[in-house]
Amino acid sequence: MSSYAFWNNKGGVGKSFLCFVAAAEYAHRHPDTDVYVIDLCPQANVSEILLGGYLNSPKVLDSLSSKKPRSTVAGYLEARLNSPFRMISDVSPYVCEPTEFNPQIPENLKLVCGDNLLEIISEAIRQTSQLSIPNDAWKQVLNWIRDLTVSLRISSGERDTVFLIDCNPSFAIYTQLGLVAAEGVVIPFTAEESSLHAIENVVALLYGITDLNTALYAKISFAKRAKEEGISVPKLYAFVLNRVTMYEGRTASASIAINKMIQKTMNDIHQKNRHIFANPKDLPSKSLIEIPASHTVAMVVATTGTPLHKLKPGLKKIGEERVQLNPQPLQRYREALEEFVNCL
């Protein structure tokens, strides 16, 4: 696969942070590949980190959204609203190179920046998809981000390309656009009971697989319409248990207990619906990737925009505060993320 959507119907699971780490590390390892990050979250969290971190990126975000046209994903979608059923000829105005603003980012990493305008124009996108003429309006609109990936592949020429699409937790139409553009879905979650329901919600929303109590609504679902209109939906590609609590170098017992419950839920879904998995022969619990909790590492990376491969232990200044980044947690975090990047 060469296009992945990072999504969970539950917020606060570290989805955007994981997308950033994966994109920066993959680009660092594969300098001959163009790595495109498409930020389809109105909060633009992954864009903030790529453009220099939470402390440095606000001015850059303002400058990109102030351009004519906006040099963001919302700028591209605005252009598509003006040309809904014919692809625009040039997508270069909507792509930026984060290394221009954050020299720590590899030069082969490109960004279609997030934008809070997404939320405002989402209703216009939805209404365009509901037009009665042409009769495939919904299908054409749902493919807008896929159209963008096709154009970016062409602009990369002979170079390989990989797309990492950061999606909002809500199942808004801009989230649907991102999911339709991906071949595989990466689902980050945390070791808490609500993650059980989040995984079930992903399966219900994306594939229409649900229980008897909500089966009636599945008949009018996104999944049903996508199947009827020939829109491909991505497969479940990877499950990442994020922010695992460690005690003396081992997973804490409470996390283990909830983790087992989540794995059972995943395996039960797999047993009855193997066709929705990218690797249908493998139990999802066998390929589950655990990322240890490391608040200090996450804080330093997010506030400074420093990729893991450039991060060194020691005393760090974050704003007016100084924090100590110890080598052991950093090494554990790197090893876990290497395992994840290896599967892309």
Q: Give the global pTM.
A: 0.94
Beta-carbon contacts of 208 under 8 Å, excluding residues fewer than 6 positions away, are 218, 221, 222, 223, 224
User: Is residue 16 over pLDDT 90?
Assistant: yes
Q: Which 3 state secondary structure label does DSSP give 23?
A: helix
CA distances in angstroms from 174 to 30, 48, 144, 205, listed in the order given: 29, 19, 10, 14
In the chain, DSSP finds a helix count (H) and a strand count (E) of: 14, 11
**Under the phi-then-psi rule, with left for phi > 0, alpha for psi from -120 to 50, and beta for the rest, what region is 209?**
beta
Which pLDDT tens digit goes with each residue over 300-315? 899 999 999 999 999 8
pLDDT of 273:
95
pLDDT of 212:
57
The Cα–Cα gap between 171 and 206 comes to 9
3-state helix, strand, coil in the chain (%, to 5): 50, 20, 35
Q: Which 3 state secondary structure label does DSSP give 218?
A: helix
CA distances in angstroms from 313 to 54, 309, 323, 324, listed in the order given: 20, 12, 10, 8
Which pLDDT tens digit goes with each residue over 80-132? 999 999 999 999 999 999 999 999 999 999 999 999 999 999 999 999 999 99
Share of the chain above pLDDT 70, in %: 93
The Cα–Cα gap between 307 and 21 comes to 7
Which pLDDT tens digit goes with each residue over 271-304? 999 999 999 999 998 888 888 877 888 888 999 9
